[in-house]
């Protein structure tokens, strides 16, 4: 039951929950930036939560259905339209063969997820259909979708209930000034206490370089470093370290100026110091930040991080119970 891609939108990629296990070789886990939203979309159409769907950035594609199907759109507010009629997001929608799914303009957030009953059935690479363009893995021939592509769908489960909906209070979007919680650590000792305090006090803005690899922020005061003799192999810039691994969510600040938070398609390592790591509970939020959104970095401890993680798991369980 293939889908014909009429127009592709902007960097629309096939994503599932990713391919963990190869980060030590420079192949990142990938997968949906907003994992919660993808899981919800899949649940709505009766799929396994990890089935492959489309991740749309800022705008949607135009998709023609060749057979009857059920779809759901979640994540950022990108209203779906069927043959021109605007429909509800976060809702299972029945689609008839021959109908064309398009999208209205993005109202909020940055990324929307489209799930199809049966899931997209392109060939997996290293256990995942997620698109990783740098390594030419997954997706359609290792790249974002293009007009003319034909997306195969898997066999739909019988569980898809047209009209099923996830109410607004069960969804999650960033606040107007986004708050990203960070556990300080890694090479935080490289900057002065005053610089660290300012980093968390100031309000930053998402810069234009913001994609699946990482999000850059601007607008804060450059960080002051603690003096040192450069260690052999590190390089002469005070922000350099001997090339090391980068955790997902780690916050590096090249030359102390613009922080970069690495995301699902992270480079696995490099030579810049990091001041801490965004906690796992807040990683999904980053995928919903548009350029210029104001962002506050909030310092937390491990206990808070683990509590927040449990809250996210509970929120997902609530959606599961609601749709069961």
Is 135 in contact with 118 (CB distance < 8 Å)?
Answer: no
Lay out the site mask for other proteins across 83-122 (x = CB under 8 A, - = otherwise).
----------------------------------------
How far apart CA 27 and CA 127 sit, in angstroms, is: 12
How far apart CA 107 and CA 78 sit, in angstroms, is: 6
The smaller minimum CB distance to other proteins, of residues 14 and 101, is found at 14
Tokens linked to 286: 């980053």
List CB contacts of 18: < 8 A, sequence separation 6 or more: 29, 30, 31, 32, 128, 130, 264
CB of residue 82 vs other proteins: minimum separation in angstroms?
36
Lay out the site mask for other proteins across 22-51 (x = CB under 8 A, - = otherwise).
xxxxxx------------------------
Lay out the site mask for other proteins across 139-158 (x = CB under 8 A, - = otherwise).
---x----------------
Interaction between residue 124 and other proteins (CB under 8 A): no
**Residue 114: CB atoms within 10 Å:** 26
Interaction between residue 207 and other proteins (CB under 8 A): no
3-state SS class at 170:
helix
The smaller minimum CB distance to other proteins, of residues 113 and 246, is found at 246
Interaction between residue 231 and other proteins (CB under 8 A): yes
How far apart CA 16 and CA 12 sit, in angstroms, is: 13
The smaller minimum CB distance to other proteins, of residues 63 and 279, is found at 279
Q: Candidates 3-11, 69-77, 95-103, 269-277 — which segment interacts with other proteins by CB under 8 A?
A: 269-277
How far apart CA 1 and CA 156 sit, in angstroms, is: 10
Interaction between residue 194 and other proteins (CB under 8 A): no
Query: Could you give the residue ranges of the DSSP H alpha helices within the chain?
Result: 35-44, 193-201, 283-286, 302-323
| Cα distance between the two ends of the chain | 26
User: Which of 203, 242, 257, 292 touches other proteins by CB under 8 A?
Assistant: 242
Which residues form the interface with other proteins (CB under 8 A)?
Answer: 20-27, 125-126, 134-137, 142, 183, 185-186, 231-236, 240-245, 247-250, 267-271, 274, 276-280, 302, 305-306, 309, 313
């Amino acid at each position: 039951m293939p889908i014909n891609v009429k127009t592709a939108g902007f960097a629309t990629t096939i994503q599932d929950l990713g391919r963990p296990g190869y980060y030590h070789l420079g192949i990142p886990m990938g997968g949906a930036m907003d994992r919660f939203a993808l899981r919800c979309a899949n649940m709505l159409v009766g799929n396994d939560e990890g089935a492959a769907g489309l991740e749309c950035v800022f705008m949607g594609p135009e998709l023609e259905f060749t057979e009857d199907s059920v779809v759901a759109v979640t994540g950022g507010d990108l209203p779906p339209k069927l043959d021109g009629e605007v429909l509800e997001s976060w809702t299972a929608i029945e689609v008839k063969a021959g109908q064309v799914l398009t999208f209205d303009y993005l109202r909020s957030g940055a990324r929307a997820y489209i799930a199809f009953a049966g899931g997209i059935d392109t060939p997996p690479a290293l256990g995942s259909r997620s698109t990783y363009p740098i390594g030419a893995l997954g997706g359609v021939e290792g790249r974002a979708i293009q007009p003319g592509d034909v997306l195969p769908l898997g066999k739909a489960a019988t569980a898809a209930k047209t009209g099923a909906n996830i109410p607004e209070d069960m969804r999650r979007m960033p606040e107007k000034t986004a708050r990203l919680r960070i556990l300080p650590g890694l090479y935080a000792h490289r900057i002065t206490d005053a610089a660290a305090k300012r980093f968390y006090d100031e309000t930053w803005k998402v810069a234009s370089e913001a994609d699946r690899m990482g999000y850059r922020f601007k607008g804060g005061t450059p960080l002051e470093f603690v003096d040192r003799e450069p260690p052999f192999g590190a390089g002469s810039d005070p922000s350099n370290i001997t090339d090391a691994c980068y955790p997902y969510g780690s916050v590096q600040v090249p030359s102390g100026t613009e922080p970069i938070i690495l995301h699902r398609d992270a480079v696995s390592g490099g030579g810049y110091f990091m001041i801490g790591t965004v906690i796992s509970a807040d990683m999904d939020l980053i995928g919903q930040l548009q350029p210029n959104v104001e962002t506050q970095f909030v310092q937390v401890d491990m206990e808070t991080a683990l509590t927040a993680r449990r809250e996210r798991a509970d929120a997902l369980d609530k959606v599961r119970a609601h749709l069961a």
